[in-house]
Amino acid sequence: MCRVWDSRTWQVTNTFPAKQYIQTHCDISANGNHLLSSSNGFGGQGCEATLWDLRQPGCKVVEYRGHRETTACCVFLPSSPGGPALVASSSHDCSVKIWDQNTAACLTTLTLDGSGPLVSLAPSDSSSLLCASFNTGLHVLHHHTDGLDLKEVARF
């Protein structure tokens, strides 16, 4: 179950319905209106990211489905002026996906063969994303602002 806490009062401000699988990560949108959570799973069951509306407690907006193993991380990507709202997810299936935030359409997928589980994502600007892997270190990924292309540009 995901809960949002007010750090000033240590009171719960939002509680979301329990999902079937363990929640692995969450992120809050820059405008504070949405929460994104990701789920454990296997064989395509679970393995999703879920967009929740913080203005309507417990209101699920969309689910992003398509990973085959645990979706370890999900993040809102910084938007570019006039560009679509995008989210990214990484999975133990060695893939990173970029999604249209509103329609849940998968815009692109990048598979990092041999990387092992992709455990964390961090957007660094409107077109760059850092991805931590279990086996192959930190990957620097670049995506176009429309989300339609994703490529690895460096590895550390």
What's the half-sphere exposure (Cβ side, CA atoms, 13 Å) at 17?
11
Closest CA to 69 of 98, 113, 38: 38
> How many Å apart are CA 12 and CA 6, to the nearest integer?
6
Domain tally, the chain: 1
Residue 2 included in any domain: no
How many C-beta neighbours within 10 Å does residue 69 have? Answer: 19
**Tokens 């995901």 belong to residue:** 2
Rounded mean pLDDT of the chain? 92
> How many Å apart are CA 84 and CA 129, to the nearest integer?
16
Q: How far is CA 139 from CA 59, 111, 118, 145, in A?
A: 34, 12, 10, 19
Local confidence band at 73 (pLDDT 50, 70, 90 cut-offs): very high
pLDDT in tens, 22-69: 889 999 999 999 999 999 999 989 999 999 999 987 788 999 999 999
Residue 6 included in any domain: no
Residue 51 included in any domain: yes
pLDDT for 80 equals: 79
Residue 53 included in any domain: yes
Closest CA to 122 of 112, 134, 132, 114: 132
Residue 108 included in any domain: yes
Residue 70: CATH number of its domain:
2.130.10.10
Contacts of 142 (CB under 8 A, 6+ apart): 127, 128, 129, 150, 151, 153
Sign of the Cα torsion 15, 18, 22, 23 reads: negative
- Structural domain that includes position 133: 15-155
Residue 132 included in any domain: yes
pTM of the model: 0.92
Residue 89 included in any domain: yes
Local confidence band at 100 (pLDDT 50, 70, 90 cut-offs): very high
pLDDT for 129 equals: 96
Q: What is the DSSP letter of 17?
A: P
pLDDT for 66 equals: 97
pLDDT for 119 equals: 96
Local confidence band at 77 (pLDDT 50, 70, 90 cut-offs): very high
Residue 7 included in any domain: no
Q: How far is CA 148 from CA 108, 112, 139, in A?
A: 6, 17, 19
